[in-house]
Amino acid sequence: EAAVTQSPRSKVAVTGGKVTLSCHQTNNHDYMYWYRQDTGHGLRLIHYSYVADSTEKGDIPDGYKASRPSQENFSLILELASLSQTAVYFCASRTNAEQFFGPGTRLTVL
């Protein structure tokens, strides 16, 4: 079965600090995605990538950067964390038929 892992699983950050969330997949999938989950909003796409060294903006990219240094790894970077970025973040990779999600990272910005 497809395997997507995320680290850390939870993090507390201070406002204005830098946060990096990491995602690793062992499925050889081209497409990878970062979503955030908020109650009442569902899952919203932040950034995605379909090839190493290239990233694309999703629906809510403001305040986030992404990096895809290899096919297996995809990071989400918050250069200046803000209170509004407190959420659960999910990484996913995709086959033609299905997206496979990682376990999520719970980020709390204080």
Partner 1 sequence: GDSVTQTEGLVTVTEGLPVMLNCTYQTAYSDVAFFWYVQYLNEAPKLLLRSSTDNKRTEHQGFHATLHKSSSSFHLQKSSVQLSDSALYYCALSGASSGSWQLIFGSGTQLTVMP
Q: Interface residues with partner 1 (CB under 8 A)? A: 31, 33, 40-45, 48, 50, 56, 58, 90, 94, 97-99, 101-104
Nearest residue (CB) to partner 1, 15 versus 31? 31
Classify residue 62 by its DSSP letter. T
Total length of the chain: 110
Contacts with 7 (C-beta within 8 Å, 6 or more apart), sequence order: 21, 22, 24, 105
Classify residue 10 by its DSSP letter. E
Q: At its nearest, how many Å lie between partner 1 and the CB of residue 62?
A: 17
Contact between 22 and 6 (Cβ < 8 Å): yes
Q: At its nearest, how many Å lie between partner 1 and the CB of residue 78?
A: 21
Q: At its nearest, how many Å lie between partner 1 and the CB of residue 98?
A: 5
